[in-house]
Every structure is written in C-alpha cells, then in structure tokens.
Amino acid sequence: MPMEIAGLEVERVTSGAPARARPILFLHGMWGGSWMWDHYLSFFAGRGYTGYALNLRGHHGSKPVDDIGRVPFADYLADARAVAASIGDPIIVGHSMGGLLAQKLAELGDPPAVVALTPAAPRGIFPLCTLELLRVSLVHLHEFLLGRPIHPTPAEADALLFGRIPVAERRTAFERLVPESGRMAFDVAVAGVPVDAARVRCPMLVVAGREDRITPARMVRKIAQKYRAELRVYDGHAHMVLLEPGWELIAGEVASWLDKEVR
C-alpha cells in the first residue's frame, strides 16, 4: 500500500504473521524504484516484518525535481534519513547505490542492522573496476560532468543490470527504469562518497554476485573488509540479486542472518 512521507512515495507492506519489533527500510539503486523490492516486501512480510520501500525524489510517484540530472547524492541521503526517522529505527536493506546510502545511514546513525546487496563503493575503493562499466561510464562521462540525466540503452542495461534476468522479463524491467542524476553518478563514481568505518557500529551483511559487472565480487569484498562485515558471494548471480531467478535463496539467508543479529 503506497503512502507519502516527506513528499516521497513509499510502498508499505505489513505482515499477516506476528509482527516483528523492527521494520525494514528498502533503498533502491540507480534508475530504480520501490517496484524492485516487490519480491522482498512480500517475502519479509511473510516472515513477520513490516517493509517500507521508498522512491527517491524524482523517481516514480515521489516529489518531482526541476532537473533530475543535477540532484546530488546528499539529497538522496536526506530522503533516506527522513523516511528512516519517520518509520522509527528500521533495519536498512539497500541495493547498489541504495547500498551506499545504507552505508551512510550506518555511519550517521545506529540502525539495528544493515544489509548491502551488490553495493556501490564508498570513497577509497575504486568503483570503475570492470572493462564493461568503464566503457559505459566513458560513454556517459559528459552527463556525469555536466549534471545531465542518465538513462542506459537496452544493450547497456542487458550488459550491466539484467544479464541474469530471463530475456522475456527484461523489456518490462527496462521500461520501468527512469532517468537518473548525472551529478549523483559523479558524486559516487568520480568524487567518491566518504564513509567513516569507525563510526559504523551495527552488524552488517554484504552480498555479492559472482557475475556482477557493475559491483564485481572482488570490489564488494573490499567493502565488507572496510566494515569487518560478513560477506556472502553467490554463484550464478549478477547485479540484480533481488530480481534474478534464485532471489528466494538470498532473501532467505538474509532473513536467517537478521534472525541471528537483531533481537
């Protein structure tokens, strides 16, 4: 059921089972939206959680922006902090750029736990570490530098995002992607977003896909090492671990980890 928090459209799914004390806030990545979390919202509701999946500003039903290309990472972080404060001390689960938002929330607050699925890297860990990603980044470099909207082509989306999603499902997923901020991409991929690991005190689980071409497992391993977090690497998975066939296994292991870490 959609609701509005601070001008942001937030999808809320409640549990029919006995409720857990902690809700979960799900944070999407570039070009995404709350729709990417449909599987996880239903899955974790069945485990007793109330889930909230926001749409960042300029995405889907959230408040529009004058120029999406010029939205900085800091504005997205403000969105995530506002929703987290409104729903009250949630577990944070983020994917890709949303995984970097999750790292910042762990630094700036003290959430019960953080799960970072194929996360973007903070400053100090080189992000452009695959030839495919470097090639696509160079193609879109002027959009990064000039703060223009970015949208992948179908071929780029297949190469970087949808490689492990069945071909029959890719068109529908592609049509749901929205233009993204070139300024935010510059902040993340070029300037770097600093995160002070010494201020991260909550338990953290970091997930990588062995076939990921955006956030490859070797890079994600460095992210886990930065926070002394638990790392899980999954064969047969790429970047969109929350949508790919076999997502249930990963979601189940995330749920088991939360059972162990969050009281």
> What integer pLDDT is reported at residue 136 of this predicted model?
67
pLDDT, mean of residues 42-69: 96
| 10 vs 4: CA distance, rounded Å | 6
User: For the segment 243-257, what is each residue's pLDDT rounded down to a tens digit?
Assistant: 999 999 999 999 999
Q: Is the separation of the CB atoms in 192 and 166 below 8 Å?
A: no
Position of tokens 């979960």?
A: 24
Element (H, E) at 131: helix 131-139
User: For the segment 147-203, what is each residue's pLDDT rounded down to a tens digit?
Assistant: 899 999 999 999 889 999 999 999 999 999 999 999 999 899 888 999 999 999 999
pLDDT band at 1 (very low <50, low <70, confident <90, very high): confident
Roughly how many angstroms between the first and final C-alpha of the chain, as a whole number? Answer: 27
> What integer pLDDT is reported at residue 222 of this predicted model?
97
* Burial degree of 213 (CB within 10 A; 0-12, 13-18, 19+): middle
Q: Which residue in 80, 61, 102 sits closest to 254, CA to CA?
A: 102
- Map out the domains of the chain with their CATH numbers: 2-261 (3.40.50.1820)
> What integer pLDDT is reported at residue 130 of this predicted model?
61
User: For the segment 118-148, what is each residue's pLDDT rounded down to a tens digit?
Assistant: 999 999 997 766 666 667 677 767 777 788 9
> What integer pLDDT is reported at residue 192 of this predicted model?
92
SS3 state of residue 5: strand
pLDDT, mean of residues 104-122: 97
